[in-house]
Structure 1
Amino acid sequence: MTELFTGAITMGSLVIALFFLRFWRDSRDRFFLYFALSFFIEGVHRLYSALHDAGGEDSPLHYLIRLLAYGLILWAILEKNLPKARARK
């Protein structure tokens, strides 16, 4: 049953990444690109974890990969809300 849920989460993450990639292609807004990369990293990580159960989910490498993925989301939100530097004349 665990494999079923892992496969569903993997598929969902990769499909969401494709949606965000399409939104990025249409708007060229880096916000969507960062979200697409984050979900792609998460999907590939889940797939790798399911195929190669090396040490379980509590190894530091798993946490660092997730930290990278969630850090991309946080950076996208921060970058979107930071004031833009005005061009000097």
Structure 2
Amino acid sequence: MLDFSFGAVAMGHLVACVFFLKFWSRTRDELFAVFAAAFALFALEQVLIAWAGLPKEEQTWFYLLRLLAFLLIIAAVLRKNRRWS
């Protein structure tokens, strides 16, 4: 049952990724592309955790993907705000 929930969360992340890619294709704003990439990393993390089948204590390395995604978002927002000021 836990694998099903990981799959559902990964699917939700992929839906958000496609949503942001749609806006990126219309506007070509890099912020949307970065959000799409971040949500793709979130989905990849969920899939890897489900496939690995490791105990909770050994899953910490997968959370580096989540950290990378958040760092991408922070960098993109800072870059976007720097251009506007």
TM superposition score normalised by structure 1: 0.81
Instruction: Give the 5 Å matches for 1:1-89.
Output: 1-56=1-56, 59-83=59-83
Please say which of residues 55-64 and 18-27 is displaced more in the overlay.
55-64
Q: CA deviation at 1:40?
A: 0.3
After TM superposition, the score normalised by the length of structure 2 is 0.85
Structure with bigger gyration radius: 1
Unaligned runs of at least 5 residues, structure 1: none
Q: Which has the higher helix share?
A: 2
Do the aligned partners of residues 57 and 23 (structure 1) sit closer, same or farther apart at CA in structure 2, a change above 3 Å counting? farther
Structure 2 gap segments, 5+ residues each: none
Residue identity over aligned pairs, in percent, reads 38
Equivalent residue of 1:54, what SS? coil
Deviation at 1:52, TM superposition (A): 1.2
SS in 1 for 2:56: coil
Amino acid at match of 1:11: M
